[in-house]
Chain A
């Protein structure tokens, strides 16, 4: 699904990714962990095509296609979804409009007709129920007046409606209380499928209690220092990141 080879990237002239190589097969959940400032969010932004992030080397293949050659909206239409760490508020652009426009953009890309209005509303309602979100949210502006937890739920709601092939969830668990975390994790788990890959960027192991990863990678100083199974996350929780950083420096 996703093949990253020796990826280098800078932000504002400062190098943030220093040779990342990573393969995420279809059907797997991978966690990327690391200390603050390690480049975790940068990796997500680079994959999603955010302006201001300059790729200075390496390649990224998404389903065999050169992802970096696509504009951000093309990546989304092709099935890449970024769940933002800090979702922005867009008053005046309606939540339900955005969902429908996004779904239709993806369908158009696949040569499908626009979604039927009634079916769409039914779909959205069922996903909102799963995410325990009040239907009143639909008529508000995107994330307008949402609490931090509500914004994160809205990201997962969008993911559930769009059913992307590759979901990049950037610190989706940050700022969530335990109940919200369970709802969000449940939503993500319902999307696990053989033809879908999920990348969880997270600082804390807690999320991984609820969404069990197939692989865990530790990203620090712009590089992947170690990869392992779910037990690696437990080891990080017990020991912190310093031992890995020290090992890498040695």
Chain B
């Protein structure tokens, strides 16, 4: 790993020589200022208010600015903050002995900046709708611990946006007790020049279900590290990611799913589009331990090169330690289909609209996994500026 970020002595950051970090946008991180502002200012609140607009959440809404809770922009019961676990013991009940130090480096960096994590405990058999808006103004290390009780349901919409050139290092720990069900929709939309790093540590107990749909677009660079433990029998994970790169952006995601109990099921789909000179990468790492008999996993990783100097990497990785497993996996990288393009042109559709239509089509099966039409509309609004000329297609899809 490389030297520590100069602004604080402490955890070292990975380098691209580390396993699972090969395509991560790590250049220049040591020179960045990682210390967040000590408190919220009125200016910060005003800027965030302008950015968020008047959208009303149906349930509770918590807004954080550079990791600080902004009561003025929130609604519903206020979050509880807990004593921070020690920086050295990044809390994870099923701490994985094979976790390379590099994978949790950003999580350790988050903890070392001593922001107290926000903890949310959802009692058994209850239901909660929560909108989490994380606004990045300068530097923030938002930290969340969410525990969903047995049989409880959480519908979580998580949005990341903010000012130009901001820096975010998110840590999110999510634990689903037996029979819990979570629908988690994530919109990562850093502003121009901004960088977003995140570490998600997720654990599903017996019979729990997590449906996650994520859209990553914008900013200068993003890196998402997700470590998912299917620790209980018959847990279900549905993980869908759409990543759209433009300009000179770099987006990288590493998702490691460990089947560690019988009968668990994973369905994972990634759709990435790299336009202009952008670079996108997705590493879908599936591990099935010897305890995970009857494991069932489906993974499709598809990338589209849509720019003269674009780069896309999609890496499926499988480690299977049991014979009793059903796994289907595929990764493709390609360009827009010339026959499809010509078909649209031959119907009078202009070339940029035809390309946009095909790109919409390319990500549509991820968007189709969103839990409702309102969320679909939000995600489509986030994508629309990147795919001009095809707006009307959405309403007829």
Which A positions have Cβ atoms within 8 angstroms of B?
Answer: 48-51, 71-73, 76-77, 81-82, 84, 87-88, 90-94, 96-98, 100-102, 105-106, 109, 141-142, 158, 162
A226 to chain B, nearest CB (A): 30
For B396, the chain A residues whose CB sits under 8 A away are 94, 96-97, 100
Listed A/B pairs (28) with beta-carbon separation below 8 Å:
A48-B346, A50-B346, A51-B342, A73-B348, A73-B349, A73-B350, A76-B346, A76-B348, A87-B343, A90-B343, A90-B344, A91-B361, A92-B360, A93-B340, A93-B344, A93-B358, A93-B393, A94-B393, A97-B393, A98-B344, A98-B347, A100-B392, A100-B396, A101-B393, A102-B348, A106-B348, A109-B348, A162-B348
Which A residue sits closest to B365, measured CB to CB?
A: A92
* Residue pair A92, B361 in contact (C-beta under 8 Å): yes
Interface check B89, CB cutoff 8 A: no
Which bracket fits the contact residues of B?
20 to 34
A75 to chain B, nearest CB (A): 8
* Residue pair B345, A84 in contact (C-beta under 8 Å): no
Majority DSSP secondary structure for residues of B touching A: helix
A81 to B364, CA, bound (A): 28
* Residue pair A141, B348 in contact (C-beta under 8 Å): no
Interface check B351, CB cutoff 8 A: yes
Interface check B94, CB cutoff 8 A: no
* Residue pair A142, B351 in contact (C-beta under 8 Å): no
For B392, the chain A residues whose CB sits under 8 A away are 97, 100-101
For A92, the chain B residues whose CB sits under 8 A away are 358, 360-362, 364-365, 397
Give the one of A49, A93, A158 with max B CB within 10 A.
A93
A214 to B393, CA, bound (A): 40
For B349, the chain A residues whose CB sits under 8 A away are 73, 98, 101-102, 105
Which B residue sits closest to A100, measured CB to CB?
A: B396
B287 to chain A, nearest CB (A): 32
* Residue pair A101, B347 in contact (C-beta under 8 Å): yes
Interface check B124, CB cutoff 8 A: no
For A141, the chain B residues whose CB sits under 8 A away are 361
* Residue pair A90, B338 in contact (C-beta under 8 Å): no
Among residues 322 to 346 in chain B, which have CB atoms less than 8 Å away from a CB atom of chain A? 337-340, 342-346
